[in-house]
């Protein structure tokens, strides 16, 4: 069984090495990659609302989300390594393993993208496909850094990287899940990662 581990970290210009720390942490693991992406606005705990658009650097005062999909048996070791690398107060969520009956699923898609001038981008194709499959909503995030199971590191913001990591999140009907996953695998062509979890629609 696989689970999604999500760490939330405010990153400042004095600590812009978060991506390199993540690379060192996950790059040595055979079956683990990671993706980092930033929020546009955030509140962490009881702090003030932050607007990273007012900042100069990509990582400066942004709330950075780090996602990694791992085997459940590796959970304890990875959580320990995350705390050691980023601090004991690092907010971390473990998502997955639920067996509840659900009418909807939260679907997360990770992939890399090379920008094209005269061709529809892959994220556009995926969003269009999810719309065709009657997804309730879908949203796309351009990543700050990431690497897949091949451990090739991509960091387009701070380096001359050929590819950009992307994350798409969507809520889909349970009855459509099998069809959607098959279609996404065809679009990704084994060059991406899927994670889905049953959720309760309020």
In this prediction, residue 7 carries a pLDDT of 84
Q: Tally Cβ neighbours within 10 Å of residue 109.
A: 24
pLDDT digits (tens, 9 = 90+) for 32-81: 678 888 776 555 555 555 555 544 445 455 678 888 888 888 888 888 88
In this prediction, residue 41 carries a pLDDT of 58
CATH fold match for the domains 2-95 and 104-199? yes
pLDDT digits (tens, 9 = 90+) for 80-93: 888 888 777 778 88
Cα 97 to Cα 2: distance, rounded to the nearest angstrom? 8
CATH class assigned to 2-95: alpha beta
CATH code, residues 104-199: 3.30.70.120
Rounded mean pLDDT, 123-148 = 89
Of the two residues 21 and 35, the one the predictor is more confident about is: 35
Rounded mean pLDDT, 166-170 = 93
- Does pLDDT of 9 surpass 60? yes
Q: What are the Cα distances from residue 92, in Å, to 19, 78, 162, 180?
A: 16, 11, 30, 29
Domain ranges of the chain: 2-95, 104-199
Please provide the DSSP assignment of 39-89 as one string. -SSB--TT---B-GGGSSSTTTTEEEEEEEEEEGGGHHHHHHHHHHHH-TT
């Amino acid at each position: 069984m696989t689970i999604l581990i999500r760490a939330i970290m405010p990153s400042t210009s004095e600590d812009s090495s978060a991506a390199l720390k993540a690379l060192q942490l996950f790059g040595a693991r055979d079956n683990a990659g990671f993706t980092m992406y930033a929020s546009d606005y955030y509140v962490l705990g009881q702090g003030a609302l932050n607007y990273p658009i007012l900042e100069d650097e990509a990582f400066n005062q942004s709330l950075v989300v780090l996602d990694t999909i791992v085997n459940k048996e590796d959970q304890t070791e990875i959580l320990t390594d995350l705390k050691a690398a980023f601090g004991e107060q690092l907010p971390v969520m473990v998502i997955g393993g639920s067996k509840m009956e659900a009418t909807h699923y939260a679907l997360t898609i990770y992939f890399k993208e090379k920008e094209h001038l005269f061709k529809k981008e892959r994220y556009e194709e995926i969003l269009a496909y999810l719309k065709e499959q009657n997804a309730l909503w879908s949203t796309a995030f351009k990543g700050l850094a990431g690497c897949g199971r091949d451990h090739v590191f991509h960091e387009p913001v701070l380096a001359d990287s050929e590819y950009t990591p992307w994350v798409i999140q969507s809520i889909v009907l349970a009855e459509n899940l099998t069809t959607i996953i098959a279609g996404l695998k065809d679009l990704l062509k084994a060059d991406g990662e899927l994670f889905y979890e049953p959720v309760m629609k309020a």
